Amino acid sequence: MSTKLKIMLVDDHYLVRMGLASIIALEPDMTVCAEAATGEQALALFRVHNPDVTLIDQRLPGLTGSETTQKIRAEYPGARILVLSTYACDEEIYRALHCGAMGYLSKSVQREELTQAIRKAASGRRHITPEVAALLAEGMSRSRLSTRELDVLRLLVGGKRNREIASTLDITEGTVKLHVSSILGKLAVADRTEAVTVALQRGIVQL
């Protein structure tokens, strides 16, 4: 049937792709046109198959789901993409939607909601669940970290000390201390260890 929606699946786990493909196979108006394990593969396959809707895992090796979404939409502004994740983190949700995703879904999503989200995306409508909306609103209410603060936070997560951070970013130790203090305040935490924990939990940075 030429009227079927073409769906591309992007996930580095074969069993996840197989599960999604099995769900889509049950829908008379949908078909899987391509599968990719990385963001780079997804971009290449998008150029070939031009899917109606793409389902992308957020935590891919190499390019993340959000970065892949951004690259695809840079070439194909009309691309309809849904980001899926095992985790629901406000920063990852914000990043995915900011990069052009039509929705952000948990991998525990029920079949009916998944297929509804696909059909909505295909028609150009966003799919935002109440849970995702609440997390997004909660994240928006917090002060956002600056680009430099994110640089410092990534190095903190990597176990770097102030002196090493200063050397890596070519700034003074005093400036690093100011950034760390600001990060602690914005994340509402008491120390560096708690900042690292919260940053990972919220998806602000990834290991």
Q: Which residue has the tokens 């948990």?
A: 106
Where residue 160 sits, what CATH number does that domain have? 1.10.10.10
Q: How far, in Å, are 78, 81, 83 from residue 126 at the CA level?
A: 13, 10, 12
Residues 131 and 166 in one domain: no
- 124 and 194 fall within a common domain: no
Count: domains in the chain: 2
Residues 85 and 187 in one domain: no
**Residues 197 and 130 placed together within one structural domain of the fold:** no
What residues make up the domain containing 151? 147-201
- CATH code of the domain containing 75: 3.40.50.2300
Question: For residue 1, is pLDDT > 50?
Answer: no
Establish if 94 belongs to a structural domain: yes
- Separation of alpha carbons 68 and 174, rounded Å: 36
Q: Tell me: do 117 and 177 sit in the same domain.
A: no
- Tell whether 197 is covered by a domain: yes
Claim to verify: residue 171 and residue 116 sit in the same structural domain = no
Domain match, 21 and 67 both: yes
Q: At what angle do helices 173-187 and 162-169 cross, to 10 degrees?
A: 110
| Per-residue model confidence as pLDDT tens digits over 119-146 | 999 999 988 877 777 777 666 545 578 8
| Calpha distance 153→145 (Å, rounded) | 9
| Eight-state DSSP code of residue 127 | B
| Chain segment 49-108, per-residue pLDDT in tens | 999 999 999 989 999 999 999 999 999 999 999 999 887 676 788 888 889 999 999 888
132/155 same-domain check: no
Residue range 2-40, pLDDT digits in tens: 589 999 999 999 999 999 999 999 999 999 999 999 999
